[in-house]
Structure 1
Amino acid sequence: MPGNAEIINSGLDRIVAGYVFPERAAEADRAVRARLAAGEYDALSGAAFCAAVTTHLQEACPDKHLRLLWQDEPRSVEPADDDKGRAAFLALMRAENQGIRRSEQLDGNIGYLDVRWIPDAGQGARAIGAAMELVTHTRALLLDLRGCRGGSPAGAAMWCSYFFPDDEVHLNDFFERSTGSTRQYWTLPYLPAPRYLDRPVYVLTSATTFSGGEDVAYTLQAHGRAEVIGEVTEGGAHPTDRHPVTEHITVTVPTARTVNSVTGTNWEGVGVQPDRAVPADKALETAYGEVRKRLM
């Protein structure tokens, strides 16, 4: 079993080589190596060790995706296979009904969708379309992302596309450090269900809404297409690679950054700021009350 110094060295090497902001990676590297030299990790192991290093990484470089993760079950230390990683994500999305937990028509003909994951735009398209088909004739929509933990940027763009009239809305860009390239995301020209236009949309958030869920909330809010009700979200905007360090420890390294076409920035470290801040467990009640008044 590698010692703490070897684990930290390996993890920091990955961060310095791949993190989307090289200058911040260098700051995190210096900060954690100074703590290592001071013996701050000598008495730590397992989950406590990973938590301490993660805290220090994020103190030096505020990024919720930058982490040293502990997993109780041992995993292979072979380099991550992109195809296997994608296959595992697609399998998870199938098991999770492409992230769609619940669809309902509330009193007053208000649509409600509970979305827990943002799926792949290809395999998730039919499920997203089916969910949108069920609410297509409602007078307003409550999109509940309070339990959404992330997913695919392309899937987020597909979800957002339903709320715009055509394929001419530039949603955001993704800059990739390794290639120096930028990928643009626009609304899609074709969708498997009718678009949801000219009706109110409310997005519900919690302090644990993360990553892909934040993407949808932030994008719809920035483009003036939805109001966000709930809590400030967790604040993770950077697409991330995972690298095994030991059988129980993985370092996660953000390798790209999101740039919204309206704000010129993203929600990293600050979260999506709600238009109406209420506790997460009151968000549905609050949004439902507001939309009923709005439609009267």
Structure 2
Amino acid sequence: MDTVKEINLSKKEISEFILKSVVLLKKNYIFPEVADKVCSRLERGLTEGKYEKLSNHEELKKSIEEDLQSVNGDKHLHIMIQENHSDNAEEVSDEEMVAEYKRVAEINNYGIHRIERLPGNIGYIDLRVFYDMDTVPEASESAINAMNAITHTDALIIDLRKNLGGTAYMVSLFASYLVKEPTHIESFYRKDEDKTSQVWTLPHVPGQLYLDKPVYILTSKRTFSAGELFAYAMKNMGRAEVFGEITGGGANPGFYHQVTEHIRLFIPSGRSISPVTGGNWEGTGVIPDQEITAEEALDAAYEKALMKNREKYEERKEYSFLVKEIDDVLAELHGKK
């Protein structure tokens, strides 16, 4: 079994990271006043020796992220430790980062962990990441295959309880199957370009659209970033009902910056703007329609989907087999209570 190579943390790297991060934050962070306060905290910590006793990168990550998020609780402000890359490289190349992204995406099945027809003819997709389609085209193929696999179900449950984010354009691909016409789902303001761009659903996707059928989205406090975008957009468009917990509250997009050889810093440099609400979910999270624990969310959404399906088919004798299937599942769900 391979072991992760332990990397020593030096005072020089700590100082380098703090000083470079201050410059990057002041230049790129979407909230300049917050950036100033965060940078002052980091500089004070460096001057006062707060970080001198940190012995490894994981301790540094914990300590630095506490300071990064101390002013406004922005969970997007975080660092990533890189433990495996070219030993002699002064910094990780773009090619290495892309290769790592592709490798992880493939092992993660491009974000789709489960596709199933649940008893009662309810579709279910467990979606963990909205991967970038340009970097890994296979991600779009997987999304298309997933949506076509549940085409003939009567309702759809999309499970985002373990979804940590991704890209808005993959969000738009999934959303494209749920709406009839091209629909504006989000705008993004970028500080570095002082420009606002829009994200729309696609005018055409392979296969059949999933229209006029109930859609339920499951969330947890871990649901974050692009996962929240999907839930927020579908909820406010009236296209889906959200079950579960209030999400993590990270609305503003950004980029990773290679600060030292082993440490990347993610800085939100843009602002998400809903065409429906004019705002976003930064700091507040997406508020579910049915606020319950993440553990209860699947059964609650599943039960509602089954009840609707029973109403749809109960007077149609040719579907008595499906009504029986629904009743069996409902009895099982009620037995859990």
Deviations 1:78-123 (A, max 9, x none): 3653x65455434433333221111111111111111111123452
Contact in 1 for aligned 2:91/2:260 (Cα 8 Å) = no
Q: Equivalent residue for 1:35? A: 45
* 1:150-165 mapped onto 2 (5 Å cutoff): 150-165=165-180
Question: Does the alignment pair 1:4 with 2:17?
Answer: no
- Counterpart position of 2:91: 78
Match of 1:181 in 2: 195
How high is the TM-score relative to the length of structure 2?
0.80
Over 3 Å counting, the alpha-carbon distance change for 1:133 and 1:200 in structure 2 is same
CA contact (8 A) 2:91 2:261 kept: no
2:297 pairs with 1:283: yes
Paired letter, 1:157: S
1:35-54, aligned counterparts within 5 Å?
Answer: 35-46=45-56, 47-54=58-65
Deviation at 1:189, TM superposition (A): 0.2
* Aligned 8 A contact 1:126 1:192 in 2: no
Residue 148 of structure 1 contacts residue 210 of structure 1 at CA under 8 Å; is this kept in 2? Answer: yes
Deviation at 1:275, TM superposition (A): 1.2
Counterparts of 1:91 and 1:166, CA distance in 2 = 35
Identity %: 38
Residue aligned with 1:147, SS: coil
2:124 to 101, 112, 115: 112
Residue range with higher mean Cα deviation, 246-255 or 173-182: 246-255
Which stretch has the larger CA shift, 13-22 or 35-44?
A: 35-44
> CA separation in 2, counterparts of 1:18 and 1:190?
35
1:59 match: secondary structure:
coil
Of stretches 120-129 and 46-55 in structure 1, the one that deviates more from structure 2 is 120-129
**In structure 1, distance between residues paired with 2:270 and 2:195:** 10
- C-alpha deviations, 1:105-156, integer Å up to 9, x for none? 1111111111111123452332212111111111111011112122221111
| Alignment partners' CA distance in 1, 2:51 and 2:103 | 37
C-alpha change, 1:3 and 1:21, in structure 2 (3 Å) is: same
Per-residue CA deviation, residues 229-255 of structure 1 (Å, 9 max, x unaligned), is 111222222222222333332221112
Kindly tell me the number of residue pairs found equivalent between the two proteins: 294
Instruction: After TM superposition, list the pairs within 5 Å mapping 1:84-103 onto structure 2.
Output: 85-86=97-98, 88-103=100-115
8 Å Cα contact 1:116-1:148 kept in structure 2: yes
Q: Aligned Cα RMSD in Å?
A: 2.1
Higher RCO (CA 8 Å, separation ≥ 6 residues)? 1
Matched with 2:67 is 56
Could you tell me how far apart the structure 2 residues matched to 1:137 and 1:249 are? 46
CA distance in 2, matches of 1:134, 1:3: 49
1:158-189 Cα distance to aligned partner (Å, 9 max, x none): 1111111111x211111111111111011110
Q: Could you list the runs of 5+ residues in structure 2 that have no partner in the other structure?
A: 1-9, 312-337
Query: Is the Cα contact below 8 Å between 1:77 and 1:244 reproduced in 2?
Result: no
